[in-house]
Amino acid sequence: MNSGIKTFLFLYFLISIFLFLGRSVYAQLPDPHDFCSHTKSIKSKQRQASFHYQEHDAFDVHFYYLNLWAETNDVFLKGFVEIQGSVQDDVLDTIYLELDYSLHIDSLLFNKKNISFTHSQNGILFFSPSQALIKDEPFIIRVYYQGMANNSGSGRGYNSEDSHHNTRVNWTLSEPFYSKDWWPCKQDLQDKADSVWIFISTSSKNKVGSNGLLTATIPLDHDKVRYEWKSHYPIDYYLISFSLAEYMEYSFFTPEQYGRKVWIQNYMYPDSAMYKSQKALIDCTKIEMNLLREKYGEYPFIEEKYGHCISRIGGGMEHQTMTTQANFSFHLSIHEMGHSWFGDQVTCATWNDIWLNEGFATYTQYLGLENMADKASADGFMAAMQSVVRREPDGSVFVPNDQLENRDRIFSGRLSYYKGAVIIHMIRYVLANDDLFFHVLQQYQSQYAYKTASAEDFKNVLEKLSGNNFEEFFNLWYYGEGFPIYYFEWEQAVNNSFSLKAQQESSTVKTPFFRMDYDIQLFFTDGSDTIFTMHQQEAEETLFLQLTKRVKAILPNPKSSNLMEVKGVYSGLSLPGVVSIEPNPAHDIVMLRFTNSNQQRKLSVFNSTLQKIAEKKAFNRFVELDIGNLPAGVFFILIDDGQSTVLKKLIKY
Ligand SMILES: [Zn+2]
């Protein structure tokens, strides 16, 4: 990116963010509710019907064709869905689909012939062809159905609401398993259709936004119209979507100088006030698009478009090539756009690894700030996310198997989004090479393009390209729970030799120790500073540095590169001969270690209100103190060698 473009980006950023939001973008951490429709607080949305395609994955979907009538006054749908597929098993005698029971099936055609079927109350739809099918045999299913979609006002499935902008709006939200609430489908993440058509017929005053390209608008009798959207990219079931309202369109191409132009198509309410207030933010999406193409690789759906349909969705949803969004706020827009790569082009193979969608989309917000504002804004955002992660002592980014039907756990803002983004930043820190980091992201994208992937797949790409083993990293930070808690104690001798003791505890017994590297920033009395890396190989590490300047203060984890809690930073005064008190915190015996013996010293122990509670004389290099009978708390040890004194802090637990 040249500096002219950078200035341009920055200008855009200033206009769109600071003027419109009127505040620093990270002073308040955007709540995941603001950029994720799933965390909209709908309590305990457990999946109601369960069908495990992994155990019944007998056929492969090639093509979905939805042809439906819809109006904005309610959630009534009528029409058909065609599914073209082929058999995967050696023999297939029963085909299973899902469709909510509130929708009535008028008829089901199998290879163009009526066939009897069972539609059970738990939403499972199944039928047996008259003759069992054999491997690779193609087939066509067409389901004619109608009814009011049953969304219980929860925002899931198919929704209709007053937009509060002089129009009503209908939209769909199918992730993670609510496609079946509005159309018959195979809800299997690992079976992407190769292409999809979505034809919606409605009153001619309405516009319909959907996946792919609008290939035709066909006038129908009685002032109706049919919008024919087609996409020729592989697509997962939950990314198929449409929105319907009296939309106005504001669309454009990305600027040519960035390479191939990308069509960005926006459907908004016909509300000039909203358009005026959002225009700069909408324009900003072309800058975001080119930034993400530079970081993640070419836009995956460049032959079609990227777009937004405004609706009353809570936050946004990354429907492939046509995101459904509540507004164009910076964090929301760039998060959803990031999903075009992480979520849409490469989709998590199971909900266990939703990190591959949401962690990376949230990290896209970091990249947006880093590149369109500045590093300090991005690091502030990272620090804010880390503080949310630390609100609870445990929880893994990986979604455990027993939580796979719990939408709230899958889309946990703290774990899947924030901790997910934080550990991606930590991977970048471990690599310490941005070219390599983005190369890994791009390789992962190209290797799994239009397919699904697991976290292990990502890890394999990372390990192969970096040559590093990330087994322990993933076990600690992805599958593992919690975070390290640190106490630091530093001192500097008169000859400027500097020592730093770092003591690590864990927020949870589930992960007792986090082997990790992290940064320490030293600030000197002359106003300068430096950063060095601490290698925490054991719970307690002590680092010695021979410096030439006096240290004024230290700051652990200065750029929020790592997830850690710093509970204490203590500094000792310089006293020749005093080295350390170990362990600290301690429970019973502590050892004071001096660099020289044969020196008479007096040790006085004070409690936290500075009342002397013990005294001891010492001559040797090693002096043992028994603190077993002291209550838990903070104590101070005053060491007096007759010429000078030093006060050391001791924590008893
Ligand atoms: Zn997301």
- In this prediction, residue 589 carries a pLDDT of 85
Distance CA 612, CA 603 (A): 11
pLDDT: which is higher, 441 or 40: 441
Q: What number is the average pLDDT over the span 490-518? A: 95
Distance (angstroms) between ligand 1 centre and the Cα of 446 equals 21
pLDDT of residue 641 exceeding 80, the answer is: no
* Per-residue pLDDT band at 488 (split at 50, 70, 90): very high
The class of domain 575-653 in CATH terms is mainly beta
Q: What is the pLDDT of residues 144-154, one digit of tens each?
A: 999 999 876 67
Q: What is the pLDDT of residues 68-125, one digit of tens each?
A: 999 999 999 999 999 999 999 889 999 999 999 999 999 999 999 999 999 999 999 9
Distance (angstroms) between ligand 1 centre and the Cα of 239 equals 12
Distance (angstroms) between ligand 1 centre and the Cα of 532 equals 35
483-574 CATH fold: Immunoglobulin-like (2.60.40)
Distance (angstroms) between ligand 1 centre and the Cα of 259 equals 27
- In this prediction, residue 552 carries a pLDDT of 85
Distance CA 65, CA 573 (A): 75
CA distance to 300, 364, 412, per residue, from 330 (Å) = 21, 11, 21
Which of the residue ranges 6-15, 47-56, 350-359, 507-516 would you say has the lowest mean pLDDT? Answer: 6-15
Distance (angstroms) between ligand 1 centre and the Cα of 418 equals 11
Distance (angstroms) between ligand 1 centre and the Cα of 411 equals 9
Distance (angstroms) between ligand 1 centre and the Cα of 156 equals 15
Q: What is the mean pLDDT of the chain?
A: 89
Distance (angstroms) between ligand 1 centre and the Cα of 200 equals 26
Residues of the chain with CATH 2.60.40.3080: 575-653
Would strands 252-253 and 263-268 be described as parallel, antiparallel, or unpaired? antiparallel
Distance (angstroms) between ligand 1 centre and the Cα of 286 equals 19
Find which of 8-12, 88-92, 475-479, 577-581 is predicted with most confidence, using mean pLDDT: 475-479
Distance CA 555, CA 558 (A): 6
By 3-state DSSP, what share of the chain in percent is helix, strand and coil, each rounded to 5? 25, 35, 40
Distance (angstroms) between ligand 1 centre and the Cα of 335 equals 6
CA distance to 124, 495, 507, 571, 595, per residue, from 532 (Å) = 59, 20, 25, 18, 25
Residues of the chain with CATH 2.60.40.1840: 483-574
Q: What number is the average pLDDT over the span 283-299? A: 97
* Per-residue pLDDT band at 577 (split at 50, 70, 90): low
Contact call for residues 378 and 401 (beta carbons, < 8 A): no
Distance (angstroms) between ligand 1 centre and the Cα of 216 equals 31
Residues 6+ apart with CB under 8 A from 138: 62, 84, 85, 86
User: Residue 484: which H helix or E strand, with range?
Assistant: strand 484-492
User: Nearest to residue 170, comparing CAs of 268, 274, 71?
Assistant: 71
Distance (angstroms) between ligand 1 centre and the Cα of 318 equals 7
pLDDT of residue 30 exceeding 70, the answer is: no
Distance (angstroms) between ligand 1 centre and the Cα of 364 equals 10
Q: What is the pTM of this model?
A: 0.83
pLDDT: which is higher, 186 or 647: 186
Distance (angstroms) between ligand 1 centre and the Cα of 319 equals 10
Distance (angstroms) between ligand 1 centre and the Cα of 362 equals 7
pLDDT of residue 498 exceeding 60, the answer is: yes
Distance (angstroms) between ligand 1 centre and the Cα of 389 equals 17
- In this prediction, residue 568 carries a pLDDT of 81
Q: What is the pLDDT of residues 530-545, one digit of tens each?
A: 999 999 999 999 999 9
- In this prediction, residue 569 carries a pLDDT of 83
CA 453 to chain centre: 16
Distance CA 9, CA 330 (A): 13
Distance (angstroms) between ligand 1 centre and the Cα of 342 equals 9
Distance (angstroms) between ligand 1 centre and the Cα of 337 equals 9
Distance CA 546, CA 500 (A): 12
The backbone region for 643, taken as left when phi is positive above 0, alpha when psi lies in -120 to 50, beta otherwise, is alpha
Distance (angstroms) between ligand 1 centre and the Cα of 572 equals 47
User: Nearest to residue 575, comparing CAs of 511, 637, 523, 633?
Assistant: 637
Contact call for residues 420 and 357 (beta carbons, < 8 A): no
* Per-residue pLDDT band at 334 (split at 50, 70, 90): very high
Q: What is the DSSP letter of 414?
A: I
Beta bridge partner(s), residue 61: 85
